Amino acid sequence: MNTATLDPNRQFEHDALATPTSEEESRQMFVKSLKYHLATRVAPGNKLAYEARVLPEAEKAGRAPGSYHDVRALMADDGYYRLWGAMQRSSQEMMWRSVQVSVERQIDELQAKAKGNTAPLGSVTLDPDMPIPGYISAVDIHCMPGNYHGEFREDDLSNGAVYDRAVWFYAMGRMGPLNDDMGRSMSDHIKAHYPGLKPKRVLDMGCGVGHSTLPYVDAFPEAEIYGVDLGAPMIRYAHARAEAMGKKVHYSQQNAEKTNFPDGHFDLIVSHILVHETSNKAIRNIMKEAYRLLAPGGVVLHLETPPYRAMTDFEACMLDWDTRNNNEPFWGGSHLIQPEEMAELAGFGAEQGFERTIPSAFDQAEKQRTKIFQAGDFGGGGSWYIWGAEKEKA
C-alpha cells in the first residue's frame, strides 16, 4: 500500500473497518470537530486562567504552588478549568457512543468477514484462560465501555472495531489515515539510530488492534512480526485488520509481563502507549520480560507522551488530567518513570537505559500541530517521547 496516496483527512477504509451511515458519520465528525475545538481553542484558555487569575490569587494568599499536584489543587476550584474538564469528559463519552452504534449495526458482517478468511498470511492465537490483571480490569480504561477485554458475544471483536474507528477521532486524525503515526515514527527512528540492527523477529507488546504494529512489516520486510495483547477482541480484530490490509503478523493473546516465547527470541521489542496503562509493578515485570526475550545486542523501546520532569508544573497538570478524569489510573505514574532505573532493575544495567524525543512521521507531512501535549490531545505534539534499554552484545 502506498501510504502517500491516502487522503490525510479521512481514515483509510480497509475491509475490516465498520463503515458508518451518513447519519452516524456526521455524529462522529461532530465529535472530532468538538475535540479539535477543545484542544486548540478551549484548552489554551486554562493557561490564561492560571496566569491571570489562579496563580496571582494563590500567591496573594501565600499558597504559591510547588508541584503539579499543587497546581491541580488550585485549578480544581476555577470555573473555566472545570467547564473545560466537563466538556473534555463529555467529548470522550460521546466519541465511544458515536462509534459503538455503528459497530453494533454491522457486527455480524464484521465477524463473518473475519471468520471467512481461510488462507491467512499471519496467525491468531487466543488463550481464554489467561487472567486479566487488576490494573486493566478495575476500570473501563479511558472510559471505553467494556474495556479491551470485554466480550458481549461469542468470538467477539466488537471492542477492537470500536477502538480502531474511535482512535482516529481521539487523535483528531493527526495520527494519519491508518492511525499508525506511533509505529511509523518509532520504526523510522530505529532504522536511523540503529543502522546495523537487522531484526529477525520483532515483538510489539500491548499491540491493541495493530495500528502501530503494521509499520514494522514494511520497515523490516525480512523480519517476522509478532504482537501480543491482553484483550481477545483486540487480538481477533488486529488479525482481521492485518489480513484485510495484506500484512503478515502473528498475533497472540498474552500478558507482556510473562509471555510463552523462548529466551532471546527477539532482536527488537517495542511498545506504543502500553506503559501508561500498566501498573508500576507491571512495567517492571515487562522490562524484565523484555530482558529475557531479547537476544544479545537487541533493544526494547517504549513510546509515550513526554515525562512531567520535561515540563512546567502547569503543563504537567494539564497533561495529567487523564489520571483522575479519564479512567487512566496509571497515567501519572508512567510519566514519572526513570529509564536508567528501569534498565537497572530489569538486568540491562543502568547505563544501558535511554530516553529520547523523536519527530512524528505524520507531522512531516501535516504542519498543523499544537506542539503542546495536553489532556485528550494524543498525536498533537508533533513529536513523541521514547525510552528503553539496549541489551549488551555477547
Ligand X SMILES: C[S@@+](CC[C@H](N)C(=O)[O-])C[C@H]1O[C@@H](n2cnc3c(N)ncnc32)[C@H](O)[C@@H]1O
Residues 6+ apart with CB under 8 A from 14: 241, 244, 245
Strands 123-125 and 250-253: parallel
Cell (9 digits) for 224: 517476522
Q: Which is nearer to ligand X, 252 or 374 (CB)?
A: 252
Binding piece for ligand X, criterion CB under 6 A, among 105-113, 205-213, 314-322, 342-350: 205-213
Backbone angles phi, psi at 3, to 5 degrees: -65, -20
| Minimum distance from residue 61 beta carbon to ligand X (Å) | 40
- Determine, following the binding rule CB under 6 A, whether residue 272 of this chain makes contact with ligand X: yes
- Considering only 71, 75, 171, 273, the residue that binds ligand X (CB under 6 A) is 273
- Determine, following the binding rule CB under 6 A, whether residue 234 of this chain makes contact with ligand X: yes
| Minimum distance from residue 43 beta carbon to ligand X (Å) | 21
- Considering only 228, 232, 318, 343, the residue that binds ligand X (CB under 6 A) is 228
| Minimum distance from residue 271 beta carbon to ligand X (Å) | 6
Q: Which is nearer to ligand X, 267 or 322 (CB)?
A: 322
| Minimum distance from residue 285 beta carbon to ligand X (Å) | 8
Alpha-helical (H) ranges within 39-78 are: 45-49, 55-60, 68-75
Q: Which is nearer to ligand X, 58 or 270 (CB)?
A: 270
- Determine, following the binding rule CB under 6 A, whether residue 255 of this chain makes contact with ligand X: yes
Please count the residues of the chain: 394
d(CA 342, CA 351): 11
- Considering only 156, 277, 313, 322, the residue that binds ligand X (CB under 6 A) is 277
Number of residues that bind ligand X (CB under 6 A): 22
Please choose, from the candidates 121, 118, 120, 91, the residue with its C-alpha nearest in 3D space to the C-alpha of residue 29.
91
| Minimum distance from residue 386 beta carbon to ligand X (Å) | 13
- Considering only 68, 96, 148, 387, the residue that binds ligand X (CB under 6 A) is 148
- Determine, following the binding rule CB under 6 A, whether residue 230 of this chain makes contact with ligand X: yes
| Minimum distance from residue 79 beta carbon to ligand X (Å) | 32
Give the burial class of 86: count Cβ atoms within 10 A of its Cβ; 0-12 exposed, 13-18 middle, 19 or more buried.
Answer: exposed
- 220-233 burial code (b ≥16 CB/10 A, e <16): beebbbbbbbbbbb
**Edge-to-edge strands, sheet with 353-359:** 123-125, 250-253, 224-229, 201-205, 266-272, 294-304, 383-390, 353-359
Q: Name the site residues for ligand X (rule: CB under 6 A).
A: 136, 148, 182, 206-208, 211-212, 228-231, 234, 255-257, 272-274, 277-278, 282
